[in-house]
Amino acid sequence: MEFMRQHHPLVKVGHHFALTVGVLFSFLFLVSSVIVVAYEFAYRTVILPRVLVSGVDISNMDKASAEKRLEMEFLANPSSVQLFYRGQDIADANSVSKKYEFDWAVEQAWGLGRSGNVVNKINERTRMFFKPKQVDLPISYDADALSGMIARAAGSINQDSISPKIKIDWSGEIRIEPGVDGLSVDEELLLADIVSKLTMPGNHEIEILTRVESSAIDNAMVNQALETASKWKGRNLRIFYRDYALVLAPEDIFKLIGLARTSINGNEVDRLTKLVKPNVEVEAKNAVFNFAEGRVVEFSPEVIGIKLDEGTFALKLAQTVQAGNVTDLEIPTVTTEPKIKAGDINNLGIKILVGVGTSKFAHSIPNRIHNLTLASSRLNGALVAPGETFSLGQTIGDISRSTGYREAYVISEGRTVLGDGGGVCQVSTTLFRAILNAGLPVVERKAHAYRVGYYEQDMGPGYDATVFFPSTDLKFINDTPGYLLIQTKVDAKNLSMRYEIYGTSDGRVTTISPAKIYSQTPALATIYQDDPSLPLGTKQQVDWSAPGARVSFDYKVARGSEVLQDRTFYSTYQPWAAIYLVGTGQLASN
- How far, in Å, CA of 245 to CA of 27, rounded? 92
What radius of gyration, in Å, describes the C-alpha atoms of the chain? Answer: 36
- Residues 291 and 299: their CA atoms lie apart, in Å, by 10
518 within 8 A of 559, measured Cβ to Cβ: no
The H or E element that residue 352 is part of is strand 352-360
Q: How does residue 432 score in pLDDT terms, banded at 50, 70 and 90?
A: very high
Residue type, 378: R
What confidence category does residue 590 fall into, taking pLDDT thresholds of 50, 70 and 90?
very low
Cα separation, 104 vs 194, in Å, equals 21
For residue 297, the cross-strand partners are 290
Burial zone of 366 (CB within 10 Å; 0-12 exposed, 13-18 middle, 19+ buried): exposed
pLDDT tens string 56-83: 999 899 999 999 999 999 999 999 999 9
Please write the tens of the pLDDT for every residue from 306-360: 999 999 999 999 999 999 999 999 999 999 988 778 777 667 878 888 999 999 9
Instruction: Decide if 355 contacts 438 (C-beta within 8 A).
Output: yes
Residues with Cβ within 8 Å of 543's Cβ and at least 6 positions away in sequence, in order, are 409, 411, 416, 453, 576, 577, 578, 579
Per-residue pLDDT at 546: 82
Is 410's pLDDT higher than 70? no
Q: What is the pTM of this model?
A: 0.51
Range among 141-145, 333-337, 524-528 with highest mean pLDDT value: 333-337
Enumerate the β-bridge partners of residue 420.
407
For the beta carbon of residue 459, count every other beta carbon within 10 angstroms. 17
The pLDDT tens digits of the residues spanning 202-233 come to 999 999 999 988 877 777 788 888 899 899 99
Cα–Cα distance, 123 to 129 (Å, whole number): 10
Q: Which residues contact 428 (CB under 8 A, 6 or more apart)?
A: 392, 465, 466, 467, 474
State yes or no: cis peptide before 470, omega within 30 of 0.
yes
Contact between 463 and 553 under an 8 Å Cβ cutoff? The reply is yes
Amino acid at 197: K
Looking at residue 327, what is its pLDDT? 92
Tell me how far apart the alpha carbons of residues 477 and 51 are, in angstroms, rounded to a whole number: 47
pLDDT above 90: residue 29: no
Contacts 24+ apart (CB under 8 A), 121-129: 122/36, 125/39, 125/48, 128/48, 128/49, 128/50, 128/51, 129/49, 129/50
pLDDT grade for 1, boundaries at 50, 70 and 90: very low
Domain 222-343, CATH number (from 3.30.920.30, 3.40.50.1000, 3.10.20.800, 3.30.420.40)? 3.10.20.800
pLDDT at 303 over 80: yes
497 in Cβ contact with 489 (< 8 Å): yes
Spatial distance between the Cα atoms of 468 and 488, rounded to a whole number of angstroms: 20
506 contact partners, CB below 8 Å, separation of at least 6 = 480, 481, 559
What confidence category does residue 42 fall into, taking pLDDT thresholds of 50, 70 and 90? low
Q: What are the C-alpha distances in Å from 395 to residues 372, 376, 473? A: 14, 10, 11
Q: Is 407 in contact with 330 (CB distance < 8 Å)?
A: no
CB 168 within 8 A of CB 233: yes
Neighbours of 271 (CB within 10 A): 13
